[in-house]
Structure 1
């Protein structure tokens, strides 16, 4: 009899309980004991929901206060010395690694963050150093298993695999890779031995790194690790779980190893079915078949899923999610305002549990085509394809007639920058911010009151204008050179645009964890995209009227809007990107007409949806992604300066594409990566202006003037002084106002001192 499984479940909670708990602890509003007790109740609720929906392989240790890679660091004692020397307890050391620590004479930066494969989730990057003793240290994986057991739920603990952990870690060049392979293997064996002692039946080891391009060395290390881990007879049945792609580089080796089960993704893993067809699958192993999409919110097409199952039905199967449900919202039950006519096409995490249960029932039913659940499902799938509500022929035609010249500005950068410098008349090392200013509880309340109809549009407008006036005054007092309007009217840099563009659906509670306590609420691309009216121009024009200094018009780029939304599945991503690009182009031209001389079009998520396989990067993504950005601004006057911003990205291997974006100024995350990106830009003769982030805004610590000066002088050493801007790593939305203002004051003061020195 086929069974059903989930790789992981959203830990955020139906009402973002986890966010509120952790933030309360970090503000010293609740004790560690209270945090742990309330977190335990949250976990118990998640386990029970899955059990009540018939899930037979339920995960534990997929819960985390901040990040599962960070949890793994604690588990195996991969804690850098600077955090141990703070003398904090384990939990506070954990949060110091995540957010940095500043108290008295103790001042330590947080670990770097990067995107988790091709998702919008961020993980903390382990730093492996020679002085580390990698060994079993933490106990979270064990007590969570016992917590579930105590309430009658048998779980499979989950663990990030040793090869994935190692490949995603930062290792200095003088240290031996082979030594870490050995140490990690030993530490994982210790974990497995302890799980065996507890009587655990299944362990899910996640190795998503296996769906990437693997070298011979990677394959050798994988075999070395798992031959050692699996060599002893053990009661523990290990499930090797992959996701986000296929395992073409290592499939046959997986079959040779003594895993109980192998989990493959049949949503994004385009060659997994082909591999099974070509090489077969082991009769003594269980195949965990990832069919229910853990990264998108559309209802599962039962026919498509059952067709796949029927092709492999001779093997022992478990119907699974394609990846953890961490990447989708919690439940549709919380969507009280979304019309039923739209909701019928959607499935969030809880609804996907029901889909697993129904797929199991239908697959076991020889007459499933006559089953009412199958008939209803296929009716919904058919209706969605034929729905005409958001089909705009004028938009589709506009995309069809795009020509090559529609992707390039008429004048070369060298011509544009001369005119722009004359118009803007900025000093050397101009200072600015990335865009957003801190969003207080008060601002969020006002926006909520307006949406709920508790205040009228005039009252709302007066409030937002007052906030804009205040932030312009603050920036002038700090003496920044290029100002922003603060983005107080925006809930989120993507959701806000979705609210004003036709073709999007906006949820009330469709929150997804981005990192730590930071949640995002991705809009849903339901149909063709069209701009209804200008929606940023009035706010930005008002802000510009309050100052003689240049003010940036702040827009989100088409690729970031696409990548941070749940995209439709019935249209190529390229076409969706061009539709968004044309809508943003209209806003760009309206800002220019309003007299805004600098327009920033953020592409924070450009790298995020790079195909897993490098050979697919250019043709299947970058060619059209760069064009979608360029279509937003190719019509502007040469005097209009176009900025873009990118964060948490490694650009070394796409530097030629970054250059081809042809933005006049690019601001990038650099502080957490030790400015290494600047070397890459210099080596590749990057000829545009750049603003490397000089401090990490995701940490509450405030850098001092001397620290800023050290960083800025390093930047000057690596780059042409006349092409440099000074700014934070990212927007200031998540910071407290006092932290943001102190940091910016120190940043500007340091630049003024350096200007005098040079």
Structure 2
């Protein structure tokens, strides 16, 4: 029985890649030094996987920013405006990801979207009229050769042509047929060159097959691979993940793939599909170890599933790349009683080897695992469970209705046209992080820490007033993360010390772990939100994270439903909302940045499996506030145009969302569907260091007003500002408020 993995975390055991890349951004490392560092990091990871006993080791799953971006650069899918600038290859690469503003030109970053149903983000490629697809990059070949020189035979990995087409943007004049033909030719060249280097396998990732696939799309997929595999002198593994391929299964098994990778964790119909028949001349790569969650694999359940399908030509693998889980539990301070329930990336390698041994007849690992799952893990919170059972339909409805609230709030707040605000956080400077760390380590007293936080809030409130923002924020200087901060004040949560996961580029998140039943233990944000409101005559927003986002950006339990877990969190956040209201906070923003993240990839499952409970869970949080308390929410870096009605059903008073990188594409759909909620489309991109000019922001606002009624528009950046530096933050927001000032005068 062989084992393999689809991909491995590239950020390093201690986020080494993040820190090295950021040194490059600060000109503290040259590109050659960064390349040398990454070469050593890849070597370390390949050797770790090999030493674990896992045979199937991937290469080219490494990336400085994003593998979809890597694939676009490999294939020369570079916007014309960028090719015309005299930038180096590395400067072009990072310009696509982060934008570029300097003496050589001014380029906006490419749009960034969520990678299917994960919190990882990819950079959206764009096919233009002048795009000439050709294999101009060499990363996939260099990394394969690197490993080979170390005596490690790897399986190169690349995003497949069908998924690349599905995820990309097409300029209006582009001939898709020509693009498909050129892509196919380029992929054939990649296959040939890898074959010439001695590669035995190539893994082509096609996760788009787990979505709803139309007959036309399936025909396109089939045509691509019939041509692509016709003379392939290398074994091609078609790798899918994040669900099952029910629409494409019959087509896929008839194509000459040497191996097919299927997801047994999220693929609800995978076993059913295999029972219809699987070609004995193909290798089944069975994704039986969860690549997205951190709980130990239940060996007996996995063995039972594999016994059902009874496939002999089998490789055990992960359900998806392990980049979605932290590196290892070895760096954690959990007690052994707790740690034994977790498997991060390194431990999942051991799980694969254990399962292979068990299927070969070994019993010890199975017995130990069975005992782990037989024992009770935690003490249940009966009070919370009873509250969930007692919820009734009226608990999810806010009164009075939206239109009546809108008029009451108009009188209560008297905001000017185009009211300005930010999404919530301000730069988390080195000083802020060090002071918070000192307080956490008990190196400074609570009094000293509180004085520091109060000073930060006071300075930024004063600055916001000076530039003329209408609704202020306190800056969230006391918060480390928008989910972890809340989880630390909720029972039922555990927190890792070093459980970092890549979100995009050099940005990592450290998802907390939902260990048991969730309940609020004490007020969480009231102290600093009410303090900030008492320092100014202007409105200061209270800032909360919504229950769906807290759930989606945590590692959830697997012993209860996502719905029940989310409702537990919703009741806890509801208590916080009502406490803020009692303490004079009149505008409360409840962020649901990750609302779409666990939306099923198939539209037919959207309501029955997710929206029917996630939208009510949000309404539960704010259903009991007064009519004159204004509820805001925020969403970012996902495609929302197809769930506009569900977003309107959240019954918030104002919704802000990322729109700058997507060219405000969502506005047409808002107009078409008569979106009732007031909106704040982001007028500039905070994930790029470039500073938008006043005229640029005015033009963006003009586009918004052409599609959204003036009285419904708020003006704000597209996301929080904690990852940005102070100079770019102050310059950008000053330009934003100046742009609004000029437009108000013009109107």
TM-score (norm 2): 0.99
- In structure 2, C-alpha distance between the alignment counterparts of 1:372 and 1:256, rounded to whole Å: 40
2:191/2:232 contact within 8 Å kept: no
- In structure 2, C-alpha distance between the alignment counterparts of 1:293 and 1:446, rounded to whole Å: 37
1:546 aligned to 2:544?
no
1:208-267, Cα deviation, whole Å (9 max, x unpaired): 011110011111111111111111151x11111000000111111111111111000001
1:364-394, Cα deviation, whole Å (9 max, x unpaired): 01xx4xx2211111111122xx2333x1111
2:409/2:629 contact within 8 Å kept: yes
- In structure 2, C-alpha distance between the alignment counterparts of 1:105 and 1:374, rounded to whole Å: 61
Q: Secondary structure at the match of 2:661?
A: helix
Corresponding position of 1:374: 366
1:262-288, Cα deviation, whole Å (9 max, x unpaired): 00000111111111112x111111100
1:461 aligned to 2:461?
no
1:266/1:290 contact within 8 Å kept: yes
Corresponding position of 2:569: 580
Corresponding position of 2:134: 135
Structure 1 unpaired stretches of 5+: none
- In structure 2, C-alpha distance between the alignment counterparts of 1:470 and 1:341, rounded to whole Å: 46
- In structure 1, C-alpha distance between the alignment counterparts of 2:696 and 2:26, rounded to whole Å: 26
Q: Secondary structure at the match of 1:632?
A: helix
1:94-119, Cα deviation, whole Å (9 max, x unpaired): 00000000013611100000100000
1:614 aligned to 2:603?
yes
Corresponding position of 2:91: 92
Aligned equivalent of 1:343, options 323, 339, 342: 339
Corresponding position of 1:497: 486
- In structure 1, C-alpha distance between the alignment counterparts of 2:130 and 2:526, rounded to whole Å: 55
2:658/2:682 contact within 8 Å kept: yes
Shift in Å at residue 463 of structure 1?
1.3
Shift in Å at residue 424 of structure 1?
1.6
Corresponding position of 2:377: 387
Count, aligned residues: 747
Corresponding position of 1:200: 199
1:352 aligned to 2:348?
yes
Q: Secondary structure at the match of 1:295?
A: coil
Q: Secondary structure at the match of 1:319?
A: strand
Corresponding position of 1:332: 329
1:101/1:110 contact within 8 Å kept: yes
1:398 aligned to 2:395?
no
- In structure 1, C-alpha distance between the alignment counterparts of 2:104 and 2:505, rounded to whole Å: 26
2:241/2:262 contact within 8 Å kept: yes
- In structure 1, C-alpha distance between the alignment counterparts of 2:173 and 2:741, rounded to whole Å: 39
1:329/1:510 contact within 8 Å kept: yes
Shift in Å at residue 313 of structure 1?
3.3
Corresponding position of 1:284: 281
Shift in Å at residue 86 of structure 1?
1.8
Corresponding position of 1:249: 247
1:671/1:694 contact within 8 Å kept: yes
1:521 aligned to 2:517?
no
Q: Secondary structure at the match of 2:297?
A: coil
Q: Secondary structure at the match of 2:516?
A: strand
1:485/1:540 contact within 8 Å kept: yes
1:281/1:315 contact within 8 Å kept: no
1:526-545, Cα deviation, whole Å (9 max, x unpaired): 11100000010001111111
Aligned equivalent of 1:722, options 691, 702, 711: 711
Corresponding position of 1:640: 629
- Higher mean C-alpha deviation, range 81-90 or range 160-169: 81-90
1:294 aligned to 2:291?
yes
Corresponding position of 1:261: 259
- Higher mean C-alpha deviation, range 113-122 or range 675-684: 675-684
- In structure 1, C-alpha distance between the alignment counterparts of 2:157 and 2:128, rounded to whole Å: 25
Corresponding position of 2:221: 222
1:203/1:237 contact within 8 Å kept: yes
Shift in Å at residue 546 of structure 1?
1.2
Q: CA RMSD in A?
A: 1.0
Q: Secondary structure at the match of 2:471?
A: coil
Corresponding position of 1:25: 24
1:712-753, Cα deviation, whole Å (9 max, x unpaired): 111111111111110000001111111010000000001000
- In structure 2, C-alpha distance between the alignment counterparts of 1:120 and 1:68, rounded to whole Å: 15
Corresponding position of 2:210: 211
- In structure 2, C-alpha distance between the alignment counterparts of 1:37 and 1:473, rounded to whole Å: 46
Shift in Å at residue 652 of structure 1?
2.0
Corresponding position of 1:683: 672
Q: Secondary structure at the match of 1:673?
A: coil
Aligned equivalent of 1:362, options 358, 380, 387: 358
- In structure 1, C-alpha distance between the alignment counterparts of 2:580 and 2:242, rounded to whole Å: 39
Residues 661-700 of structure 1 correspond to what in structure 2 (within 5 A)? 661-700=650-689
1:288-332, Cα deviation, whole Å (9 max, x unpaired): 010110000000000011112222334300000110000000000
1:231 aligned to 2:230?
yes
1:664-703, Cα deviation, whole Å (9 max, x unpaired): 0000111111112111111111122111110000000000
- In structure 1, C-alpha distance between the alignment counterparts of 2:390 and 2:339, rounded to whole Å: 34
1:629 aligned to 2:618?
yes
Shift in Å at residue 174 of structure 1?
3.1
1:309-368, Cα deviation, whole Å (9 max, x unpaired): 222334300000110000000000111x22222111000000000111111111101xx4
Q: Secondary structure at the match of 1:157?
A: strand
- In structure 1, C-alpha distance between the alignment counterparts of 2:5 and 2:355, rounded to whole Å: 13
Q: Secondary structure at the match of 1:686?
A: coil
Pair 1:539–1:259, CA change in 2 (3 A): same
Corresponding position of 2:304: 307
1:421 aligned to 2:410?
yes
Residues 435-450 of structure 1 correspond to what in structure 2 (within 5 A)? 435-450=424-439
Shift in Å at residue 176 of structure 1?
1.9
Q: Secondary structure at the match of 2:590?
A: strand
- In structure 2, C-alpha distance between the alignment counterparts of 1:315 and 1:416, rounded to whole Å: 64
1:566 aligned to 2:555?
yes
